[in-house]
Amino acid sequence: MIKKDICLVSPPTRGNVKTVPIALIYLAGWLSKEGIDVDIIDIKINSYKGIDAKNESEIVDKIIRNLDSLKPHVVGLTAFTSEYNNVINLAKSIKDKINTKIVVGGVHASLQPEDFIYDNSPVDIAVIGEGERTLSEVVNNVKNNQALETIDGICFLKEGNAHYTNPRKLIENLGDLSLPLYSKLNMDYYLKVERHIIRYLYTSGVHILTSRGCPFNCTFCAAKNLWKDPACNRRVRFRDINQVVDEIQYLKDTFSIDSFYIADDTFAVNKNRAMQFCDEILSRNLKLIWAMETRVNLVSDELLKMIKKAGCIQVEFGVESGSQDALDRMKKEIKVEDTVRAFDMCKKHRLRTFANIMINTPGETEKDLNDTIKLKKRLKASHAGMNLTIPIIGTDIYEKYVSPKFSRDELGIFSDPHLYTKILDPRFRLAKHGIDLNKMYYRLNVCNYLNSFFEFTFNAKYIKSILNSRRKHQFAGSVLKNLYKQINSYARFIFGFLR
């Protein structure tokens, strides 16, 4: 029997996630280009209430059946910290039934690989950092029964201890990457009309990447520790603009997408490149709507005018706080005035805005909190998301404020659905003031929840995209389904507020 070289598996926690698994399709594209026989197992269920224990068990069973049929030499898993327990349990289930090597990559494996590599762990190898080249070498070495020590960027068990090989250099030229292998996914599922591409607007599309990395040092973000390169200090690498737009063109021609979202850590960090991207979108007459996230100090009238012309209808910003002291403590490297100016410019160009705002910031005082509330009112964003700042693993604030650190057995707390809405552990409280942050979260978000119920925009490009959509017959059904979901969500929200 011919065995698959490798199967990349989406964790069961993502069984109802509507966002394309970007990491897996990039890996699949690279491996396929290298002549490695790769498949993706991405089991989906129809659930608006999250993945419960029963759903997870059903997904795991389907994964095992698929793996038993394909019999791969290697199984590749991925995990955020919030998925740690689920992925360990999945790996145990696979090991019990399938004779294969299990490799785990992704955010948590890159930041704390030793959490996967220990005596009697079901995981054989943890990939640290960028996975394309590393995973290709792992597959070839496993198939040929060769030693793992020669592979850079991994951690495995040796003589009872976690053994680290040399750090892996980042791919210098992202042009070497292949087109993500969308053909390995059920794109009919991912392209259903939903509200997750351009927040709160119904559309069909995907998230795309035009770069990797971020040059900034925000203390609440782990990005700078995920994209380390032992060879240089360069923390942002860019894909060729033509290659990016080729991908968008492919998605439109092959799957009839209506929209896309640029999921870069910081799009427009290079203004000239952002303008070039818009020029290429316009020159190909793609007529797609899109959204992006960037920093308030990176936008200008010229840039906003250009992105709007190229089809962008929404810009998301990391506002974080209305207190300059709080922003400085977080090393955000922006001024409150930059935020006001950015939102005013977006209003001038009639671009929708989304404000990401945080409370419970490090050392937050009552004045800091009040300044943040005042700024939110001043900005009048189309939508705002206000969440608790949580010191996640890999961030500066985790290293500085969390003591003792969370043990492997405690990592389940990061999967709690209330992680960003309640202080679940005293180690998560960063604010100095004594205000009840659980109640404050609910009070600040009541209007946000109500505002999202019947959200619509009379943006001409958006309305035209609906009328021209191949999936326009899905819009009414999606609105009703999401309304039902929102009513349930709002009821839970109100129940939490009253408690």
Query: Does the pLDDT value for residue 495 go beyond 70?
Result: no
Residues 362, 345: Cα–Cα separation, whole Å: 30
Before 404, cis peptide (omega within 30)? yes
**Sign (positive or negative) of CA dihedral 25, 28, 32, 37:** negative
Query: Does the pLDDT value for residue 492 go beyond 80?
Result: no
Query: Does the pLDDT value for residue 140 go beyond 80?
Result: yes
Q: Of residues 234 and 134, which shows the higher confidence score? A: 134
Query: Does the pLDDT value for residue 458 go beyond 80?
Result: no
CA-wise closest residue to 256 among 205, 210, 207 = 205
Could you tell me the residue ranges of all domains in the chain?
A: 6-164, 191-495
Query: Does the pLDDT value for residue 234 go beyond 80?
Result: no
Confidence tier at 450 by pLDDT (50, 70, 90): low
Q: In Å, how far are 75, 241, 301, 435 from 79, measured between CA atoms?
A: 13, 29, 40, 34
Least confident stretch, 138-152, 364-378, 433-447: 433-447
Determine how β-strand 211-212 pairs with β-strand 237-238.
antiparallel
What tens digit of pLDDT does each residue of 18-58 get? 999 999 999 999 999 999 999 999 999 986 667 889 999 99
Q: List the structure tokens of 52.
A: 């419960």
Residues 426, 438: Cα–Cα separation, whole Å: 13
pLDDT of amino acid 489: 64
Residues 163, 155: Cα–Cα separation, whole Å: 5
Report the run of H or E that residue 291 belongs to, with start and end. strand 289-294
**Sign (positive or negative) of CA dihedral 56, 57, 60, 66:** negative
Percentage of the chain lying above the pLDDT 90 cut: 83
**Sign (positive or negative) of CA dihedral 236, 239, 244, 245:** positive
Q: List the structure tokens of 121.
A: 């762990």
pLDDT of amino acid 283: 98
Neighbours of 480 (CB within 10 A): 10
Task: Give the mean pLDDT of 425-446.
Answer: 93
**Sign (positive or negative) of CA dihedral 323, 343, 390, 117:** negative
Residues 275, 298: Cα–Cα separation, whole Å: 13
Query: Does the pLDDT value for residue 419 go beyond 60?
Result: yes
Reported pTM: 0.93
pLDDT of amino acid 429: 98
Label residue 211 exposed, middle or buried (CB < 10 Å: 0-12, 13-18, 19+).
buried
CB 21 within 8 A of CB 10: yes
Strand partners, 9: 41, 77
Query: Does the pLDDT value for residue 422 go beyond 70?
Result: yes
Percentage of the chain lying above the pLDDT 70 cut: 93
Determine how β-strand 352-359 pairs with β-strand 383-388.
parallel
CATH level 3 topology of 191-495: pyruvate-formate lyase- activating enzyme (3.80.30)
**Sign (positive or negative) of CA dihedral 239, 243, 249, 253:** negative
Helices (H) and strands (E) in the chain, counts: 17, 15
CATH 3.40.50.280 is the classification of domain 6-164: yes
The residue type of 353 is T
Q: Of residues 371 and 199, which shows the higher confidence score? A: 371
Mean pLDDT (the chain, rounded): 93
Q: Scanning the structure block, which residue is given the tokens 């009821």?
A: 491
Q: In Å, how far are 31, 118, 235 from 251, measured between CA atoms?
A: 21, 42, 28
Q: Where are the beta strands (DSSP E) in 360-404?
A: 383-388
Strand partners, 205: 259
Q: List the structure tokens of 138.
A: 């792992």
pLDDT of amino acid 484: 67
Label residue 340 exposed, middle or buried (CB < 10 Å: 0-12, 13-18, 19+).
middle
Confidence tier at 459 by pLDDT (50, 70, 90): confident
DSSP 203: B
Report the run of H or E that residue 482 belongs to, with start and end. helix 475-498
pLDDT of amino acid 394: 97
CB 488 within 8 A of CB 48: yes
What tens digit of pLDDT does each residue of 302-344 get? 999 999 999 999 999 999 999 999 999 999 999 999 999 999 9
CA-wise closest residue to 44 among 74, 14, 65 = 14
Task: Give the mean pLDDT of 338-352.
Answer: 97
Query: Does the pLDDT value for residue 448 go beyond 90?
Result: no
Strand partners, 384: 355
What tens digit of pLDDT does each residue of 86-108 get? 999 999 999 999 999 999 999 99
Confidence tier at 497 by pLDDT (50, 70, 90): low
Confidence tier at 260 by pLDDT (50, 70, 90): very high
Task: Give the mean pLDDT of 238-260.
Answer: 97
Query: Does the pLDDT value for residue 119 go beyond 80?
Result: yes
The three-class DSSP label of residue 149 is coil
Task: Give the mean pLDDT of 190-218.
Answer: 94
- Give the helix ranges, DSSP H, for 182-300: 187-190, 223-226, 241-255, 271-283
CB 200 within 8 A of CB 45: no
